[in-house]
Structure 1
């Protein structure tokens, strides 16, 4: 079996990790040879499938197979999956530097092409572009900075604050505007006094990391402006000088991070073209490594390799850093999920919309700073933070697409109203009958929200059962309207749709679920149909007579809640659940839940009519005279 290091000198040379147990039952040498041939041919997805199938047949994961699969995933550009496979191998035994060249190479390639926008080079030969020392970096930098520019001052965002509509501006620029509506989309500000704007914590941190020098320069310039307004000219001059000196180190960014002020002490922004210096990143990486700041060092090493792909020494250093902290670093990379539909709270913190909603189901405070968000919850102004959304789409497009795919799969699973139907355990519900609900428990807030998000707008209603949790029969409810209260509670207007039988009980995220089958009445013909029609008319007249004889106050209560007794159906078998008036009568008759459940479960209209007739006879005899 081949066991040499991959030199990255040609497409046919493949490093093959040795197997932990080559003779283990389930490992097929012939299939492994096919996988290696697939790698050499560039069909990395096929190699991944082979390694995955081999791993599935083993009682315990084989470290060598996990590494082979990880390398093939890395070659295929499926970095997140590759990290997971490397993590599995690291859990068996610590990763060694020589086992990670493909991971370093792939991440650096992705960083160069997607993050920096610079073509990938092999042994000094570029596949296009201007090369390391060209001016392309300036134009890329300006494009990136345009994304992070305030639409009011046209400069790099300083203390970014996100409005209710999702657009982001400098806090100072927004505070100084006389109008509080959005300057970009013209969305009106909420009524009442102007809110105290908070800094968007995630975007502020992102700016500091991506443009550390430019952010410091921008901050110094703003401080200089404040000193200038206060007539502290010497202090203003010092601030401006410091800002321009910082701008000199990266003049391309200075074009946008600092405004041009020809009238202020003779200053103008620098206009020289900067160069990307891989050596500077290497020196920084070395210092960070010595300071045990391995995650930051690794980022710098990747930038070095991205800027200079054939720098072997740096690749080896990056491999050493990964292997030294593989267990913690790789686990962190895998477990942190990418923002999806990011929203920013009034206190300036950013979360995935769904994560924030679930937190607010339990507590109206910010999950990070604990500031009360009751007003935010009441307004439900969950608009996406558009700048964060654009950053994700532009620079993490593949990862965002994967995150979206996961979300869509979850929604598809949740919208299956047979396999995993959400069950509200509360009261009896019947087809065609309104069933208003007061929702306050966190689990049911989540359940109702999901039923609306999936578009089904349906869930099951069952009564409680001491042994199983909920009864074996119930009724599907259709949401017609939802009214939210400031504290997160809601009143949900629903109506019964169809009956079902529970095949299996389950749970999901705290609420009950069930696999179900829908119930339909069995239809009859000929003499049986004639007998059924006669029985139907007779019981309807009996029901109408009973309702007419009720006291006015009782009739008023029934009418206000359930409406009028439905008219008699010309064809009582037209609906799969039978005549609507039967369910109306069951809802208003003084029956205990178990008796109602027995009638709900019947699939014979004749049996249901006879049961109703017996109940009517009983309540008529018991009525006080």
Structure 2
């Protein structure tokens, strides 16, 4: 299938020159669009051969065709001939840059071509990259997701994620980059005064002491740099690099500082080290190229710019810079009054000298095309046994050295430090040890170090479970939560403390706003550290927690008891909860999933009565100060078998009460009594004054309908409990009726009460 290629068409210097055949030029253009670049180049060659003087436009067209055909050496001849006739402009060299970069990418870096899958998502979508994305090492557990460095003064935000404190002070950071949750602001619009996470800060300083100290110098250098105090900033960066010389981003920033201070030689040294550490990081090569270019070493800068384009084909800014530098390299050949007489493109001369490498690089010269191989395969190949490990001399030449264009192109294979060249007839070469190489599990075990994803390691003995204990329960953190003041507690421990007082248990800072929002999000980094490095201890801690939770959820063995008022089955019972012990009790009933607790009235001797009603929570509304309104409804009656206490609130071992069912004549008698008492109750309620009825309706609702089967529910008909709740009876009288397990006895008692209240009602 023919491929149509849109090509930059260079204008002819003299379209009307003698013996240029317009028809042949049209044929060449059509052949070029069809993808037969070699044939197009031959047509342009024949046209040039018939001219008395070379035409610059034809030379450039021929050069572009040869470039697209992969015949770089021949293309350079034509580009040089065109350069001898007039300076090459950057916009005339996109094909040469693209082709060289693609050759580097496929032949030297070993990356797949356009159909491969190794391009980043930004490349696939056509988004221009700045070299930051996807080039750095994988972020490990202890890296800040904003600056991508070791956490410095770690600060945990509302959602539970942790970042460097200085990163969060950036006004542009308004949401969490991990979960996209918006950060809270104070009422006056100022950002939160976030505090460092005390436990995590101590842990990082202990596990990564040297890097943490280097990170401190690094941050201080950044601040001084921002204040334009370059000399002191450089001292801080030097101290940081001395401690941690293999941190790529640190070297990168010091190199950028050197560029700003115009210390280009030092910038080149740092950038070269950076390229060795991170051979595939485009920003490293871009930085080195910038430093070399500012130092006037364009030939070497060109290597780095082309490497950038090879690594990031869609990085437009650097691609244009590569074209600019390549243009200057061509121009430098004809500077200083050495402009040669225009030569016939087939006669050699300057172009031939340009593509002939010196003896020291003869092994890297373009090889002769082998039968059956493509033109492109013949470029940038390495002869067997060639000294390919000479990259250090190629990448960091002596100060003031110059290179021909051929030397630049000959030195294009990937820089030293991990990128392997392909050798014909040779097996894969052994890679060098990367400074951030991960330890295999067996290696980690033998050296007694713990490996962190991303390359960091720390001695296993430094990680002590004692550093991860809650200061309240003195046990390993379970569901760790960091307060706004930076202290960490188990979630349940913190909640219990805030039930009593809205202050931090350690520093006594007021946490009323934190309590109001109830933003008890777990500290995700702390939880991950526990799971990954203290898994056995955490499993034991979880077992204890689950056992405690199971014990709390057993509503027969130990039922929490709210000592307050009378409650009845099927009747709503709204509660205002403010005492710390009952706040804890309600929360536990919700957490265990039972959503139930017992309600009993007080007893002077026993603490609470021997009978009560189980309540089920339907809804809870919390107030900022920790109080809550709990909407409950009665579900079943119980008898207390034994009294107890737990964490300040009452508990009881109970048995549930059910009405005894009857049959035969006894059932007939109960049905008649049931209907008669219901009618009596309805008449009493109807006869009440409107204001009294309104109060009853607003609190308890309407009188439930008559139940055709009064024995269907274990607690009897719902209307009887509604009536018992609204009748003007003392709690002790209500409790006596609640304890009855005979529906007949309960109906008799209700009837007597109705007769009594009806007689006493004022007329």
TM bin, normalised by shorter chain, reads 0.5 to 0.7
Contact 1:499 1:577 in 2 (8 A): yes
Q: What's the offset of the Cα at 1:261?
A: 3.6
Q: What's the offset of the Cα at 1:259?
A: 5.5
Structure 2 counterpart of 1:163 = 157
Q: Distance in 2 between matches of 1:562 and 1:496?
A: 12
Structure 2 counterpart of 1:262 = 255
1:499 counterpart = 2:621: no
Task: Report Cα offsets for 1:371-417 as digits up to 9, x if no partner.
Answer: 11111101111111111111111101111111111111111110001
Structure 2 counterpart of 1:206 = 203
Q: Distance in 2 between matches of 1:332 and 1:349?
A: 10
Q: What's the offset of the Cα at 1:491?
A: 0.4
Q: What's the offset of the Cα at 1:190?
A: 3.2
Q: What's the offset of the Cα at 1:262?
A: 2.0
Q: Distance in 1 between matches of 2:138 and 2:484?
A: 26
Q: Distance in 1 between matches of 2:581 and 2:470?
A: 29
Name which of 170, 181, 191 aligns with 2:175.
181
Contact 1:218 1:258 in 2 (8 A): no
Name which of 590, 611, 616 aligns with 1:473.
611
Contact 1:221 1:258 in 2 (8 A): no
Structure 1 counterpart of 2:741 = 603
Report the RMSD for the aligned CA atoms in angstroms.
2.8
Q: Distance in 2 between matches of 1:180 and 1:261?
A: 28
- SS of residue paired to 2:576: strand
1:256/1:179 Cα in 2 relative to 1: closer, same or farther (>3 Å)?
Answer: closer
Contact 2:139 2:148 in 1 (8 A): no
Name which of 221, 239, 243 aligns with 1:242.
239
Q: What's the offset of the Cα at 1:207?
A: 0.8
1:420 counterpart = 2:558: yes
Structure 2 counterpart of 1:364 = 502
Structure 1 counterpart of 2:663 = 525
1:197 counterpart = 2:197: no
Q: Distance in 1 between matches of 2:590 and 2:553?
A: 10
Q: Distance in 1 between matches of 2:250 and 2:748?
A: 83
Q: Distance in 1 between matches of 2:588 and 2:723?
A: 32
1:431 counterpart = 2:574: no
Between structure 1 and structure 2, the one with the greater Rg is: 2
Q: Distance in 1 between matches of 2:252 and 2:218?
A: 9
Task: Report Cα offsets for 1:85-134 as digits up to 9, x if no partner.
Answer: xxxxxxxxxxxxxxxxxxxxxxxxxxxxxxxxxxxxxxxxxxxxxxxxxx
Q: Distance in 2 between matches of 1:263 and 1:510?
A: 63
Task: Report Cα offsets for 1:26-75 as digits up to 9, x if no partner.
Answer: xxxxxxxxxxxxxxxxxxxxxxxxxxxxxxxxxxxxxxxxxxxxxxxxxx
Q: Distance in 1 between matches of 2:489 and 2:499?
A: 14
Q: Distance in 2 between matches of 1:355 and 1:258?
A: 44
Contact 2:577 2:629 in 1 (8 A): yes
Name which of 711, 718, 729 aligns with 1:580.
718
Q: Distance in 1 between matches of 2:470 and 2:479?
A: 21
Task: Report Cα offsets for 1:290-330 as digits up to 9, x if no partner.
Answer: xxxxxxxxxxxxx99947xxxxxxxxxxxxxxxxxxxx99x
TM-score by length of 1: 0.66
Q: What's the offset of the Cα at 1:260?
A: 4.8
Task: Report Cα offsets for 1:423-472 as digits up to 9, x if no partner.
Answer: 00000000000000000000000000000000000000000011110000
1:510 counterpart = 2:504: no
Give the unaligned 5+ runs of structure 1: 1-141, 277-302, 308-327
Q: What's the offset of the Cα at 1:564?
A: 0.5
Q: What's the offset of the Cα at 1:539?
A: 0.4
1:382/1:586 Cα in 2 relative to 1: closer, same or farther (>3 Å)?
Answer: same
Contact 2:470 2:488 in 1 (8 A): no
Structure 2 counterpart of 1:281 = none
Contact 1:155 1:257 in 2 (8 A): no
- Where in structure 2 are the equivalents of 1:186-585 lying within 5 Å? 186-190=180-184, 192=187, 193=189, 194-248=191-245, 251=246, 254-255=247-248, 260-265=253-258, 266=266, 268=270, 271=277, 306=448, 336-585=474-723
Q: What's the offset of the Cα at 1:195?
A: 1.7
Q: Distance in 1 between matches of 2:698 and 2:250?
A: 66
Contact 1:155 1:259 in 2 (8 A): no
Q: Distance in 1 between matches of 2:137 and 2:683?
A: 79
Task: Report Cα offsets for 1:117-162 as digits up to 9, x if no partner.
Answer: xxxxxxxxxxxxxxxxxxxxxxxxx999711101111111111111
Contact 1:344 1:385 in 2 (8 A): yes
Contact 1:162 1:385 in 2 (8 A): yes
Q: What's the offset of the Cα at 1:528?
A: 0.5
Task: Report Cα offsets for 1:449-507 as digits up to 9, x if no partner.
Answer: 00000000000000001111000000000000000000000000000000000011011
Q: Which moved more, 1:229-238 or 1:580-589?
A: 229-238
Task: Report Cα offsets for 1:492-551 as digits up to 9, x if no partner.
Answer: 000000000001101100100000000000000110000000000000011011111111
Q: Which moved more, 1:172-181 or 1:417-426?
A: 172-181
Q: What's the offset of the Cα at 1:369?
A: 1.2
Q: Distance in 2 between matches of 1:505 and 1:355?
A: 26
1:304/1:487 Cα in 2 relative to 1: closer, same or farther (>3 Å)?
Answer: same
Runs of at least 4 residues off by over 4 Å: 142-145, 255-260, 269-276
Q: What's the offset of the Cα at 1:230?
A: 1.0
- Where in structure 2 are the equivalents of 1:93-104 lying within 5 Å? none
1:147/1:305 Cα in 2 relative to 1: closer, same or farther (>3 Å)?
Answer: closer
Aligned length: 435
Contact 1:215 1:257 in 2 (8 A): no
Give the unaligned 5+ runs of structure 2: 1-135, 259-265, 278-432, 438-444, 450-465
1:175/1:247 Cα in 2 relative to 1: closer, same or farther (>3 Å)?
Answer: same
Q: Which moved more, 1:238-247 or 1:509-518?
A: 238-247
- SS of residue paired to 2:499: helix
Contact 1:364 1:373 in 2 (8 A): yes
Q: Distance in 1 between matches of 2:217 and 2:615?
A: 60
Q: Distance in 2 between matches of 1:229 and 1:256?
A: 17
Q: Distance in 2 between matches of 1:368 and 1:357?
A: 14
Q: What's the offset of the Cα at 1:228?
A: 1.1
